[in-house]
A and B are shown apart, each in its own frame.
Chain A
Amino acid sequence: MPSEAESRAIEEFRKTPIGHHSGELQVILNELRGLPMDDKHCLVCTKANREWQLAKTTGVRGKPLKMLSKKFTSLEEAEWYVFKLRWKQLRGETLR
């Protein structure tokens, strides 16, 4: 389970995934967003400002991105979705 401080930061992120953040949350985001490029989540814009598809970079020059089936209609939704995936990857914990 996330610690109490982590839980506060997670809740802060869920409400405001992009923008002004506390120091506690920024430290977490630096770790999650600073992952290396192999299998790193990113977005491919499929409809300008309206739809984005989840994808992964490969970390290998010239190798196509891995397009995933998940699509989003809001960037905030995408940020929270990927935050949970990365938390699971790095901490082994499932966030809801």
Chain B
Amino acid sequence: MMKITGYADKISAAPGETIKFMVNSEAGKRYRADIVRVICGDENPDGPGYQEKVVKTAANGTYKSRKQVIHAGSFVEIGASDMLDGLESFTMQAFIWPTTPEIGTQAIISKWRDADKAGAALIITKENGSVALCLGNGKGKVQTVHTGKPLIAHEWYFVAATYDAKSKAITLVQEPLHGFETKSDRAVVRRKSTVGKVPNHTMPLTMGAYYKKTDKGRTVCGGHYNGKIDSPRIANRVLSATEMEALKTWPVNTELTNSVIGAWDFSADIKGLKVSDLSANLLHGEIVNLPARAMTGWNWTGEEMNWTNAPGQYGAIHFHDDDIYDAGWEVDFELTIPKGLKSGVYAARLRAGEHEDHIPFAVRAPRGKPTAKVLYLMPSASYQAYANEHMNTDAPVGQLLAGRLVQLDKFNLYLNEHREYGGSCYDSHSDGSGICYSSRMRPILNMRPKHRMWIGATESTLWQFNADTHITDWLEAMNIDYDVISDEDLHYEGLAAIEDYSVVVSSTHPEYHSVEMWDAMDAYQRRGGRLMYLGANGWYWRIQYHSEVPGVIEVRRNEDGIRTWEARTGEYYFSFSGEYGGLWRRNGRAPQKLLGVGFTAQGFDISSYYKRNPDSHKAKVKFIFDGIGRDEKIGDFGLIGNGAAGLELDRADRALGTPPDAYVVASSVEHTDIYLVVCEEMLVSTPGVGGHENELVRADITFHETQNGGAVWSTGSIAWAGSLAHNNYKNNVSRMTKNVLKRFINPKPF
């Protein structure tokens, strides 16, 4: 089991800029850190082999080990307030939509001091999954009064608890909004408190969890709730049923207003971290660990799908016990990128005895001073979307997709046992809802040199980061100078990040793009830029970055496309921005428009090869095939499934936007029946969608010109890069790639 892990505060930096590294080391008293240039992350001895080069920097050295842990689980924290701290009698109420009422204590609204069990909390009880009020006197007595009627998962309820400090009277309300005739889950319960005086305290008010302790400035909670909370309220006296009913909405009459301590509106500030109190007390708070916002509320009618048009129906936040945004670890060492350090893919290598981890990052060229004609676009957004995926241990379909036994490695084993490291946008939360946010402010253990991913076909079993190192390895082997930027750089800087380069080389699977990234690539091409798209299933999902905090993306898996979970109806618009999420194809920008090709089929067992098409003999594109025979099989070899055409495949389609003057110069053949046509191509479920039968199961290699001398060359296959190093780089995949790169560097129009 791994005993050392870490992350960085940035995904890229230019000379003179500083990256901070946060490390958890339980491996001995000290560990060693070295900065390495990552050349090839693939350990397969049948290929070029693992290669990294240590770079001398001031950061290299030994550091003291310390354990740093992640506190996962989201909640709302309301700042300190005398009014809350002095609360004696009270009413707490909210609408809730629980997703796992059966799993144990889950706090809805809590003013609790866990150290001595003091305070009050409206909870779901572990006794029977019903609504309860928990009171503690701080002297060892804790009383939990519950309705005794288990909540039904995925149903809305209005819930409330009142407490009279003088009479000790408790009232609990559990009011279902559904009408299941024979389900008895409606209750009003009245009891007397037996714990004596409930002491006041200054611990924060929390929602979605109860306060446990403060760890190095971070609030740590327990009793994390899975499900939605909408319209939480606190009043400073016992409210009648009529008053509770009135307080479900806002505003309320003056007399009731005077009793309201807080009335929080989760539909305000949806794009940000803030939680707003509508009352005059202004007891605003913040969400912690990014629970899902822009969620349909108790009053959502289904008439409106876009939360920006009807925010009042999107007053729910969906909390999860495994949400994580920022691990919040303390900094262990920093690296200021040395002047003159060559742009490339680097990592901080951490070692202690047999334990090792790498924290990758990109070193950019000095700002405004490209050092090469070629730019490699490191797909950090796509790495984030896949960050810490658990399909290998969680999804029964894995071995069907892979067409073989899945392979795990030390990273997978660690992630399986450390769920607090959070999942990917391919995983589901513990309550079954999809993970729509993914952060890099935590260790991402599948973005690591030496990692192999179950989905990566036979031979090297590569996906994303280490598959991509076969591109950078090839550039190094060909002695081609290149700079590197990350997706995040492209998102924040737009066209300026790439416009000075003659050629942009993509990764194997650049799947996730914001509109800022999409527009920048489009503008680059129109102004004469040239793109070599050495992958597939690119520019597929729309994403957005958070506007207030760094390093986190949002994905909504809407309506269509290959999805491992599905966004709930009405929740198709990004909370981060209000943009419609889902596929770029469903946003009017199918990948074919930008790339010539777009996602058509996938399979993860073995790869295949291409045959030349008649287009390949036309004068305009002859340069692509210079030195390649008329009938040669292209790429019938390689480290990713033993072929250059494999995993995910893209094809040309005029109807989806392939330019009418594009050349489809080669197409792949002979895929297995593990390869299936993507679902967005099937309006009607039909037989015959496998590789043996369906002509849509193919990768097309295309070339087209863009305005002002620009061009795009696309290979249509994730596996392409795995063939580059075959036979010591002397092969027709390498040859064709080099033919195109040399021609694309040459500014002469086509």
Contacts and interface: CB of A to CB of B under 8 A. Distances in A.
B605 A62 contact: no
B408 interface: yes
A42 B413 contact: no
Contact of A43 (B400, B405, B673): B405
Contact of B44 (A26, A49, A61, A79): A49
Interface in B371-429: 390, 392-397, 399-400, 403-409, 413, 416-419
Contact of A42 (B44, B406, B460, B673): B406
Interface string B191-214: 000000000000000000000000
B393 A44 contact: no
B605 A43 contact: no
Nearest to B691: A20
Nearest to A30: B400
Contacts of B606: 18-19
Contacts, number: 96
B725 to A, nearest CB: 14
Nearest to B406: A42
Nearest to B409: A45
Contacts of A49: 43-46, 459-460
B430 A44 contact: no
A20 B416 CA distance: 32
Contact of A61 (B397, B430, B461): B430
Contacts of B651: none
Nearest to B42: A48
B605 A18 contact: yes
A82 B396 contact: no
A65 to B, nearest CB: 6
Contacts of A64: 413, 416-417
Contact of B419 (A34, A52, A62, A78): A62
Contacts of A75: 404-405, 458
Interface in A61-80: 61-65, 75, 78-79
A70 to B, nearest CB: 12
Contact of A34 (B390, B396, B406, B418): B396
Interface in A39-57: 40-45, 48-50, 52, 55, 57
A61 B394 contact: yes
Interface in B426-469: 430, 450, 452, 458-461
Contact of A17 (B43, B404, B416): B404
B399 A34 contact: yes
A21 interface: yes
A42 B407 contact: yes
Nearest to A20: B672
Contact of B394 (A37, A41, A44, A65): A37
Could you tell me the dominant secondary structure of chain B's interface residues? Answer: loop
B396 A45 contact: no
B458 A18 contact: yes
Contacts of B394: 37, 61
Given A42-B406, A65-B408, A50 B396 contact: no
B214 to A, nearest CB: 26
A92 interface: no
Interface in A17-37: 17-21, 23, 26, 29-30, 33-37
A43 B407 contact: yes
Contacts of B460: 49
B673 A35 contact: no
A33 B399 contact: yes
A61 B43 contact: no
Contacts of A50: 45
A44 B452 contact: no
Nearest to B412: A44
A62 B416 contact: yes
B637 to A, nearest CB: 15
A42 B406 CA distance: 5
Contacts of A26: 673
A48 B45 contact: yes
A31 to B, nearest CB: 10
Contacts of A82: 405
B45 A43 contact: no
B672 to A, nearest CB: 5
B453 to A, nearest CB: 11
B100 to A, nearest CB: 12
Interface string B604-627: 011000000000000000000000
A34 B400 CA distance: 6
Contacts of A63: 416-417
Interface string B346-363: 000000000000000000
Given A18-B605, A49-B45, A49-B46, A40 B672 contact: no
Contacts of B458: 18, 75
A18 to B, nearest CB: 5
A30 B606 CA distance: 17
B403 A62 contact: no
Nearest to B390: A61
Contacts of A45: 407-409, 452, 461
Nearest to B450: A48
B688 to A, nearest CB: 11
B672 A34 contact: no
B408 A55 contact: yes
A48 B460 CA distance: 8
Given A42-B406, A49-B45, A52-B407, A36 B396 contact: yes
A23 B673 CA distance: 9
A40 B392 CA distance: 11
Given A20-B672, A20-B692, A64-B417, 13 more contacts: A18-B458, A19-B605, A40-B399, A42-B406, A43-B406, A44-B407, A44-B408, A44-B413, A45-B461, A61-B416, A62-B416, A64-B416, A79-B404
21 contacts: A19-B403, A30-B400, A33-B399, A33-B400, A34-B396, A35-B396, A37-B394, A40-B396, A40-B399, A44-B407, A44-B413, A45-B407, A48-B44, A49-B45, A49-B459, A62-B416, A62-B419, A63-B417, A64-B416, A65-B393, A65-B416
Interface of A: 17-21, 23, 26, 29-30, 33-37, 40-45, 48-50, 52, 55, 57, 61-65, 75, 78-79, 82
Interface of B: 43-46, 390, 392-397, 399-400, 403-409, 413, 416-419, 430, 450, 452, 458-461, 605-606, 670, 672-673, 692
10 closest cross-chain pairs (CB), A and B: A48-B43, A33-B399, A49-B44, A18-B404, A43-B407, A42-B406, A43-B405, A62-B419, A44-B408, A45-B407
